[in-house]
């Protein structure tokens, strides 16, 4: 029979071994992320400027170049030409306000901090009708830093529990062009007077510039111009909302006080959709087929996320880490049939906590 001092020594020994095992496990997790980071950074260093930024900048430039043709086609009395103009304006708007604002919020359009800030204000406020400061805070500093952490970056801002599933999934997203500037006004609280003035002026500049061109170049009446602005801005609202909920909600959620290491947090809490020619080029690869890569390395451009995708997926699979992928229709079916569970009656934190 052991004496009390011996028992205490055995307990202390086991506690010490437990702490060492935990420290060793933490070190291994850190090593995994560091090793993957080195591989990705090597790929970035070996890439040309065209691969790092040129391709994405060219896509954004093409969207702006298509705008004059779109305005002219909208002034045509021929139905086919008019519909072509609507489609062209809708696609260009999605490229500029989704892909452009997303890249600009991460500062990936330029290596210069000053230019990166300029593009963030231009794309988010002038083109996207939202506050650049609030957008960067909500997306980069909260969603990315606290991905799937309850109450912080858990995508709960996209939930509207009082809406029925059919209304939420198929009708409510069409109101995004109207809701966005309203939400932007609410986000101005707490900002400096100069920032508030800048945001208001930039949003008004973007809105009235499009309205003026529809009136003067396309020759539309006041009501027709406003209707066309709404149609073009709402054209990709359905997939925009779907993508934002499909890739995080329904995956493991984590407690703010006990979340896993970064590589586990991102691989368990993020999902890729398959390549989609339309959405990949309008929204960007980092929002569609390379979302896992984007959350692991948010400083990469869309094209670089696509380039390192095989490297990242192979590494994660070799290390027995999750690499979530699912089809758009499959996710839509899941949210349609489990809408109450996923979007209304969220389970308590203890049930949402995933890998720790």
pTM, two decimals, is 0.87
Q: Rounded to the nearest 10 degrees, how much is the dihedral formed by the CA atoms of 218, 222, 224, 227?
A: 110
Residue 353: predicted pLDDT: 40
Condensed to tens digits (0 to 9), the pLDDT of residues 106-165 reads 999 999 999 999 999 999 999 999 999 999 999 999 999 999 888 887 777 788 888 999
Residue 189: predicted pLDDT: 85
Residue 96's Cβ-count burial label (10 Å; 0-12, 13-18, 19+) is: buried
Condensed to tens digits (0 to 9), the pLDDT of residues 241-261 reads 999 999 999 888 888 887 888
Condensed to tens digits (0 to 9), the pLDDT of residues 30-62 reads 688 999 999 999 999 999 999 999 999 999 999
Number of other CB atoms surrounding residue 309 within 10 Å:
18
Residue 261: predicted pLDDT: 86
Condensed to tens digits (0 to 9), the pLDDT of residues 285-322 reads 999 999 999 999 999 999 999 999 999 999 999 999 99
Condensed to tens digits (0 to 9), the pLDDT of residues 257-268 reads 878 888 998 999
Angle among Cα 64, 70, 73 to the nearest 5 degrees reads 160
- Please report the beta strands in the chain, taking only residues with DSSP state E, as ranges in sequence order: 271-272, 324-325
Return the percentage of the chain with pLDDT > 90, whole number: 74
Whether 350 shows a pLDDT value over 50: the answer reads no
Residue 242: predicted pLDDT: 95
87 vs 93: CA distance, rounded Å: 10
Condensed to tens digits (0 to 9), the pLDDT of residues 200-232 reads 999 999 999 999 999 999 999 999 999 999 999
Q: What are phi and psi of 254, to 5 degrees?
A: -125, 150
Summary mean pLDDT of the chain: 88
Output the DSSP codes for 193-217. HHHHHHHHHHHHHHHHHHHHHHHHT
Question: What does the block give as tokens for 137?
Answer: 């805070």
Residue 159: predicted pLDDT: 83
């Amino acid at each position: 029979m052991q004496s009390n001092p011996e028992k205490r020594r055995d307990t202390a020994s086991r506690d010490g071994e437990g702490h060492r095992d935990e420290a060793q496990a933490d070190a291994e997790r850190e090593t995994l992320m560091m090793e993957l980071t080195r591989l990705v950074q090597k790929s970035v260093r070996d890439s040309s400027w065209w691969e790092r930024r040129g391709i994405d900048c060219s896509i954004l430039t093409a969207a702006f170049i298509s705008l004059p043709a779109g305005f002219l086609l909208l002034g045509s009395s021929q139905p086919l030409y008019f519909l072509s103009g609507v489609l062209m304006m809708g696609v260009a708007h999605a490229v500029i306000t989704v892909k452009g604002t997303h890249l600009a919020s991460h500062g990936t359009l330029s290596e210069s901090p000053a230019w990166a800030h300029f593009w963030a204000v231009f794309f988010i406020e002038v083109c996207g009708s939202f506050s650049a400061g609030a957008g960067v805070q909500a997306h980069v500093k909260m969603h990315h830093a606290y991905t799937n952490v309850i109450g912080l970056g858990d995508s709960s801002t996209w939930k509207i529990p009082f809406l029925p599933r059919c209304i939420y999934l198929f009708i409510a997203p069409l109101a995004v062009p109207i809701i966005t500037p309203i939400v932007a006004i609410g986000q101005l609280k707490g900002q400096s007077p100069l920032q508030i003035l800048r945001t208001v002026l930039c949003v008004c500049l973007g809105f009235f510039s499009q309205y003026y061109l529809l009136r003067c170049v396309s020759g539309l009446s006041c009501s027709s111009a406003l209707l066309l602005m709404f149609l073009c801005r709402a054209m990709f609202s359905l997939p925009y909302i779907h993508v934002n909920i499909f890739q995080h909600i329904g995956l493991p959620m984590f407690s703010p006080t006990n979340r896993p290491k970064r590589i586990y947090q991102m691989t368990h809490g993020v999902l890729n959709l398959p390549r989609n020619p339309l959405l990949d080029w309008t929204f960007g690869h980092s929002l569609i087929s390379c979302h896992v890569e984007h959350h692991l390395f948010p400083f990469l451009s869309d094209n670089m996320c696509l380039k390192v995708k095989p490297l990242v997926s192979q590494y994660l699979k070799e290390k027995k880490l999750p690499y979530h992928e699912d089809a758009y229709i499959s996710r839509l079916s899941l949210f349609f049939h489990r809408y109450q569970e996923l979007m209304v009656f969220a389970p308590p934190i203890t049930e949402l906590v995933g890998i720790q």
